[in-house]
Amino acid sequence: MKLTISKEDYLKAIAEAQSEQDTVLGATVARWLSVSAPAVALALRRLRRDKLVEVDRKGRISLTAAGRQVSDKLRLRHHLVERMLHEMLGMEWYKVHDEAERLEHAISEDMERRLIDRLGSDKPCPHGNQINKSPAERRKSGLQLLWEAPPGSMVRVDSVDERDSGLLEYFDGLGIRPGVQLNVVSPNYDGTLGLRLGDRRTNLAEAAARRVWVSATPKRSERAA
């Protein structure tokens, strides 16, 4: 069996989609990779032939043990490359995802071991994300989406969805990045969410506010008490 870059990308996309939702269909993978439905159908036939994925009668896709092993390896390397670019080379946090997408396939076993020795493998990436941490696990640890935070609350940005480089740069321009504290003002009539970052007021569309995970932080009066 020959593992091509395309096969690795499909396996990683299926694994990432599974971590965010219960059911993964061909349409899910097409949307995740921005490819056509026929391209996904052809790829799935090849992956099934190689016993890397299974597709049931309802079209639900799952990884086999072999497929999961490949996707886990690639996701780890992507994570390590992002951290290397940011922590060791100083690349801006909102740029590292796209670079890691290109470099993750070129990482050797030796380089992977060296990066783990240097960086460790249990810390979050520059976007605040950890490998294989599902939305359910995030909620269990006390996180919620920024859009769900109640008006008047103070929250800390824990992580952001990293797949849209344009959105990441937009967040950075607003000052929204992991570790930053935000005051949730209120929903606006136009469907946006009012936020305050220090002395600045800004509005964020619902679609964007649903790409940010936050944790509640006590207000100053509560800390003083």
- Confidence category of residue 224, pLDDT binned at 50, 70, 90: very low
Of 45-49, 138-142, 217-221, where does the model show the most confidence?
A: 45-49
Question: The tokens 């097409």 sit on which residue?
Answer: 30
CATH for 69-119 is 1.10.60.10
For residue 114, the SS3 value is: helix
Sign of CA dihedral 89, 91, 93, 95: negative
Residues ≥6 apart with Cβ < 8 Å to 33: 9, 10, 13, 40
Q: CB pairs under 8 A, 24+ apart, for 99-106?
A: 104/74, 104/77, 104/78, 105/5, 105/8, 105/74
Provide the terminal-to-terminal Cα distance of the chain, rounded to the nearest Å: 63
Give the pLDDT of residue 188. 87
Domain 5-63 bears CATH identifier 1.10.10.10: yes
pTM of the entire predicted model? 0.89
- CATH number belonging to the domain at 139-224, selected among 2.60.120.560, 3.40.50.620, 2.30.30.90, 1.20.120.520: 2.30.30.90
The length of the chain in residues reads 225
